[in-house]
């Protein structure tokens, strides 16, 4: 998990960006990036992706 994201990656697209870099579902303890939206301890799983408008 990167400590920071590139500035060009919007907050809503961070899980997609991680997925494109080969990351899958991530176990989290402290969610400094806000990627575990459903607060179940796993980031960037199906319930954490943001809906595009």
Asked whether the predicted pLDDT for residue 35 surpasses 70, the reply is: yes
Compute the distance between CA of residue 47 and CA of residue 6 in angstroms, rounded to an integer.
Answer: 24
For residue 14, what pLDDT is reported?
93
Query: What is the per-residue pLDDT for 52?
Result: 59
b/e per residue 12-31 (b: at least 16 CB within 10 A) = ebbbebbeeeeeeebebeee
* Structure-token pair, residue 50: 């943001």
Instruction: Give the global pTM.
Output: 0.80
């Amino acid at each position: 998990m990167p400590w920071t994201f590139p500035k060009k990656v919007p907050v809503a697209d961070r899980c997609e960006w991680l997925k494109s870099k080969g990351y899958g579902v991530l176990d989290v303890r402290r969610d400094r990036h806000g990627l575990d939206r459903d607060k179940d301890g796993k980031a960037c799983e199906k319930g954490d992706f943001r809906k595009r408008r």
